[in-house]
Structure 1
């Protein structure tokens, strides 16, 4: 259209996937044109008739990202050239992402304008919104603080405003003419659960191949995303409520994810617990299949399993001993004490480092009880994990608390892998840590649980460093100040020059002591022994932790001298089983154990399968479905090793693999024949036969 005064009609077609209906081979052979090409031809003809005075612009809308790929590449499109031979230009796909948090942003904007115009002392109110470093707090972070420290009803309504506009619109429709807030919220959560199951009501019949067995609920809560080039990237957006963020210019890659959506996470909880053993029977096996198909970016199998464990523990706290059906959905937080009680760690006997004197055992136990008592009034709550792109700070913690989320550290982060925020409000400040006098106490206090995850077998050779230095805030959070030159001459010269204060530049989380946070160490592959039980509390003096950290500033050394008698504690969890995590069922523990098998060591895959065979045989001795144990484990391992054609080399002590030789195989067969006998034995031979 060249005439500026011309009129343009916008033709919008929703549910444009109807144009993607595949026609049969016979129809294509007879030259039947697709619906999309018919529509495009009609638009071309009508625009040619209208000429320069206007036109009709077609827009196709759908959650199916394949709608962006309706037209073939220009080089293969017979209709891509006009009569003059000029190539037509195609519009890139326009991804609608601005609707996320639309009602929440609108609510904050309205609240800000009302407070600015109506508050009698607006200037004084703004002055109160200072952060830890003395700067102005962004209004959205102040809003998150308000709903965390405010009443439960307002917090619940805030959660519904977050995420997709669909939730608030549905709540508004359901709440018209009703008084029961929780009943209206339950209807919204039910809608979210149905959306994760292709609109099917979450009962036993909903977990099938069509709904991918409800695995979208797992991706939503874990904060995982499909790989761009996998078929799941498009399908998750079209059918399972993933968010499409970007389509590459070749239109063969889709960046999709499950960003923070609190209501969708609550719906995912319903999918998890509506039927008994739904996780172990349907959801987790389907997730394992997606991982083996390399369709999902997990960010590390060990970290993924740890996230599942933490979510299960948090859910048990929220249920408070009840079943999901009798659980009253609220936006409340749970005491940190309750979370630690579910993990059953507070009554464990502390284990000291070699440097800590054993003669002070009773005194150290008293110090631990005093330290754990400090968290009596602290609270926490999360329903899903969010992938963090940058190093978190205190604003990040308030953001996560406001959305009932926990964080996944960026992959280049030092030390810890996961972070769970917790807070203590002014009304609960009886046993909180000391409050900074420069800050308004009504803002409350915020801290964190730092979690480091390993999957080392049979033990972590860096254990002492992992449970101390690598979980220290000074190690996890980077310093923004430049390291001082260790050269004595330059250092002496610097002493004559006043050093500028850099405290305002530092991340406040980095300045926290190890006693101001809770630390958790998880090694899913650890082999439990009397010296390293399934779980225990590890403690070391803070002076020892700083001594191993390599910090050489005078301020740090002074702190070390002052805190020599103070201890830092870490909750340690080893192996993967019901002994370590008592809130797991046997089926669930076995499913999670299947995930942590080594993907890079094939013999460890064999070991994992043999362990499952032993467990299944012990628990199902009368079942015909269990494989015969006529072939011992060592025979099967030797056979697998020869099939992999292992080259010779030095055998590592911590390796599960068995070095295969012809002699070992003969000896294994002899042991098998002597112990089992071969009369009347029938089996299957799989492999090359010469």
Structure 2
């Protein structure tokens, strides 16, 4: 399916996505510097290491360059890409630890406590049928200072949406608002950085980019965004306001969500597939 480009909708498309993700994990585990032969596939790695194996990029550098590029374009056009996260937010996410050697299908929407248990088992999640917005969840553990404390308070995640068609008429929402924990009902509000990955396998094009929100912010959203950037919003107050006003959810999403959009299915986008292709070429 990968080599011929025949990626069908539904189950088969998600199967191809799982193959890609496991291939990336396999490469990442084998190349991880802090390992022994005995436990190389069962040791956690950082999100940055996994994303490098999956997409061949430095996550922090790529995201910040994309953010800067979009902000320059928006300044020229009088718009706003809405990215409110800082480099330290991206670095915090990049240093979060993940561990998955398999996928498990669940029939419910998981809580953060559930996600912690899946992380400890080394398992990524295949979401229930008709789960809102997302198809897979990879649990992750954020650092608390220079330590990793196994507690649901420090749980974050990578949320993945898999598309097989060439076109998505709700593309902007699918890569941002619908690829979020609030829409998926995992959390009422996320006060930590998290990763969203939109994989469109049906396209003939190849590209990797940082997703951006469309539309102009309202005056109240702009005011809230300025306060967030100046760190004037008290955490408890911000949580109440976030739930009370749906419009403010966008602002907080732009602070915490880092959303990557991968179009295509070649080894140009997923370098972890290059070795697989070369082996098959030799066999032929």
- Can you give the 5+ residue segments of structure 1 that lack an aligned partner in the other structure? 1-279, 293-297, 433-440, 478-506, 592-618, 626-690
Task: Give the distance between the partners of 2:214 and 2:88, measured in 1 at CA.
Answer: 15
Task: Give the distance between the partners of 1:561 and 1:520, measured in 2 at CA.
Answer: 18
Task: Give the distance between the partners of 1:564 and 1:579, measured in 2 at CA.
Answer: 29
After superposition, what is the alpha-carbon deviation per residue over 1:426-450, rounded to whole angstroms, capped at 9, x for unaligned?
Answer: xx41279xxxxxxxx7636111110
Q: Could you say which residue in structure 2 is the equivalent of 1:519?
A: 196
Q: Could you say which residue in structure 2 is the equivalent of 1:338?
A: 49
| Map 1:377-456 → 2, pairs under 5 A | 377-424=95-142, 428-430=143-145, 443=151, 445-456=154-165
From 350, 368, 378, the equivalent of 2:66 is: 350
Structure 1 residue 543, shift from structure 2 partner: 8.5
Q: Could you say which residue in structure 2 is the equivalent of 1:538?
A: 211
Structure 1 residue 341, shift from structure 2 partner: 1.9
Q: Could you say which residue in structure 1 is the equivalent of 2:22?
A: 311
Task: Give the distance between the partners of 1:456 and 1:590, measured in 2 at CA.
Answer: 28
Does the CA-based 8 Å contact 2:45-2:98 persist in structure 1?
yes
Task: Give the distance between the partners of 2:245 and 2:279, measured in 1 at CA.
Answer: 46
Q: 2:39 is paired with a residue of what secondary structure?
A: coil
Q: 1:386 is paired with a residue of what secondary structure?
A: strand
Task: Give the distance between the partners of 1:589 and 1:449, measured in 2 at CA.
Answer: 29
Distance 1:565 1:511, change over 3 A: closer
Task: Give the distance between the partners of 1:442 and 1:387, measured in 2 at CA.
Answer: 23
Task: Give the distance between the partners of 2:202 and 2:129, measured in 1 at CA.
Answer: 21
Distance 1:536 1:430, change over 3 A: same
Distance 1:338 1:454, change over 3 A: same
Q: Could you say which residue in structure 2 is the equivalent of 1:329?
A: 39
Q: Could you say which residue in structure 2 is the equivalent of 1:374?
A: 92
Task: Give the distance between the partners of 1:565 and 1:449, measured in 2 at CA.
Answer: 16
Q: Could you say which residue in structure 2 is the equivalent of 1:320?
A: 31
Task: Give the distance between the partners of 2:260 and 2:12, measured in 1 at CA.
Answer: 21
Structure 1 residue 565, shift from structure 2 partner: 7.7
Task: Give the distance between the partners of 2:168 and 2:250, measured in 1 at CA.
Answer: 30
Structure 1 residue 535, shift from structure 2 partner: 1.0
Q: 2:160 is paired with a residue of what secondary structure?
A: strand
After superposition, what is the alpha-carbon deviation per residue over 1:289-316, rounded to whole angstroms, capped at 9, x for unaligned?
Answer: xxx9xxxxx9611111111111111111
Distance 1:381 1:517, change over 3 A: same
Distance 1:518 1:418, change over 3 A: same
Does the CA-based 8 Å contact 1:380-1:401 persist in structure 2?
yes
- Can you give the 5+ residue segments of structure 2 that lack an aligned partner in the other structure? 222-240
Distance 1:542 1:563, change over 3 A: farther
| Map 1:172-321 → 2, pairs under 5 A | 300-320=11-31
Structure 1 residue 462, shift from structure 2 partner: 2.0
Give 1 or 2 for the bigger CA radius of gyration.
1
The two structures have a TM-score, normalised by structure 2, of 0.70
Structure 1 residue 327, shift from structure 2 partner: 3.7
Distance 1:573 1:387, change over 3 A: same
Q: Which has the higher contact order (CA 8 A, sep 6+)?
A: 2
Does the CA-based 8 Å contact 1:534-1:580 persist in structure 2?
yes
Does the CA-based 8 Å contact 2:20-2:272 persist in structure 1?
no
Q: 1:412 is paired with a residue of what secondary structure?
A: coil
Distance 1:367 1:589, change over 3 A: farther
